[in-house]
Amino acid sequence: MKHETANTQLSRRQWLKVASCSVGGLALTGLAPQASQAGLLSPRIAHFTPKAKRVIFLFINGGPSQFESFDFKPELKANGGKKGQNKGKLLAPLYDFAQHGESGMWISEAFPHLAKQSDELCMLNGMTGPSRAHPIAIPMLHTGEFKFQRPSMGAWVLYGLGTENQNLPGFFTIKPTRTFGGPANYGSAFLPSTFQATRLGWSGQSIQTASISNLQSQHGLAANPERTALALAQKMNEELLGQTADVRGVIDSLNLSEQMRDAVPEVMDLSRESKATLDMYGVDEKSTDDFARQCLLARRLSEAGVRFVEVSTTGWDHHSGLDKFKSKAETIDKPIAALLADLKQRGLLDETLVLWSGEFGRQPETQILSGKETLGRDHNSTGYTAWLAGGGTQGGLTHGATDALGYKTVEGEVHLHDLHATMLHLLGLDHKKLVYRFGGRDFRLTNIYGNVVQEIIA
């Protein structure tokens, strides 16, 4: 799946002609050379039979502690308070662990609802990454690179498979972070701009006030004036379609925005859900309401045919205040468990890959800040935890392990590039063949690295 970069340019006159007809400047920025071929978002045939059709990525921003969540370390508990390998003292896990489900998976008491879904989880306790610094690790997780802007995971997936619903964007990101990569984390870089995400809100904003830019009409008025402008833009540019492919990209973007006006409000309307479903997710409960709405929206978008949905939660960078981890976990535990149960009861979990991950994990020692010991943990990229569910993965499996104290991975290592390669494989895409030629060389999500983790595939 390879394309050459087209050498087409818009003349100044053509550009002014198109831009003057834009609807509020909709999608006229970041035009990529290849973005304008008709049917870019049409469904494509995968390299081989896929196990999953779509992805829901739950991004746990900040680096959640595996010692308080999913990596049981009895030796760390027994040796708490002793001198660590670095500057701090070994910090025993703050919460008790127990085995759950038929698999006997170890899960912390901080996640009682997810514990009931343990047999759906494929736990990766041997994760490793390239950096313990947020500005590097977050872009790496999202794009596979940090040195210069690369297409995001969702953009690559959409490029490889197209979308299942032409009336909705194929890639959504809900309340993403503005920092450490910002829009680049869900952008398309040198891929056609058609493949970048549609953003709903920002991190820190209530999901109930979040909106999609340029979708809502000003002052709640009907969209008729903009519809008229769209028709005019299409008519005026009809003569240009045979001259340059770039104009097609502008019109495709305008068409998508127009189609979204009807389809997006419908799929975002949670009032269509039953009270039982809303209660299951924790909608209208103080601690869970915001993330519950995000998870429920992710299910609705996925069910409607959106190929890749990212949901973000922040506040997991516990250099101090680790005693608040349990209350933080409470905000996501019930909604995520409900998402898995809801997908399963609708027959969607087997074909939907759910990924839960931060950019890295934490150290087994206490954090030293300004020479003082705090109740917190520093970053750790040499051994941490992520998990997958559905989408052709082995539920109830714990794969990989860190050493007895949790400093580094010693068994079943899954590097970030391996995670990307495995995700693409489950979607029916060969990460070595999903390439795009730009600037005289081939690019791919996994760069020159990555191995599919066959052991976790059902």
Query: What domain count does the chain have?
Result: 1
> Residues 6 or more apart from 403 whose CB is under 8 A from it?
383, 410
Domain span including residue 369: 47-216+275-456
Residue the block writes with tokens 């050493």: 403
Tens of pLDDT, residue by residue, the chain (458 residues): 554 443 334 444 443 443 433 333 333 333 333 334 437 888 999 999 999 999 999 999 999 999 999 999 999 999 999 999 999 999 999 999 999 999 999 999 999 999 999 999 999 999 999 999 999 999 999 999 998 899 999 999 999 999 999 889 999 999 999 999 999 999 999 999 999 999 999 998 899 888 886 565 433 333 444 555 555 555 555 555 544 544 554 555 566 666 677 788 899 999 999 999 999 999 999 999 999 999 999 999 999 999 999 999 999 999 999 999 999 999 999 999 999 999 999 999 999 999 999 999 999 999 999 999 999 999 999 999 999 999 999 999 999 999 999 999 999 999 999 999 999 999 999 999 999 999 999 999 999 999 999 999 99
Assess if residue 239 is contained within a domain. Answer: no
Bridging pattern class, strands 352-357 and 54-60 = parallel
Assess if residue 202 is contained within a domain. Answer: yes
Residue of 113, 112, 82, 110 lying closest to 94 (CA atoms): 110
Assess if residue 33 is contained within a domain. Answer: no
> Residues 6 or more apart from 429 whose CB is under 8 A from it?
46, 47, 50, 157, 160, 161
Assess if residue 385 is contained within a domain. Answer: yes
Assess if residue 259 is contained within a domain. Answer: no
Helices (H) and strands (E) in the chain, counts: 11, 19
Assess if residue 286 is contained within a domain. Answer: yes
Cβ-based neighbour number of residue 90 at 10 Å: 22
Assess if residue 5 is contained within a domain. Answer: no
Assess if residue 120 is contained within a domain. Answer: yes
- Cβ-in-10-Å burial (0-12, 13-18, 19+) of 81 comes to exposed
Q: What are residue 148's phi and psi, to 5 degrees?
A: -150, 165
User: What's the pTM value of the predicted model, to 2 decimals?
Assistant: 0.86
- CATH number reported for the structural domain that contains residue 162 in this entry: 3.40.720.10
Give yes or no for a contact between 434 and 50, defined as CB atoms under 8 angstroms apart. no
Q: What are residue 212's phi and psi, to 5 degrees?
A: -100, 125
Token reading at 150: 């690369």
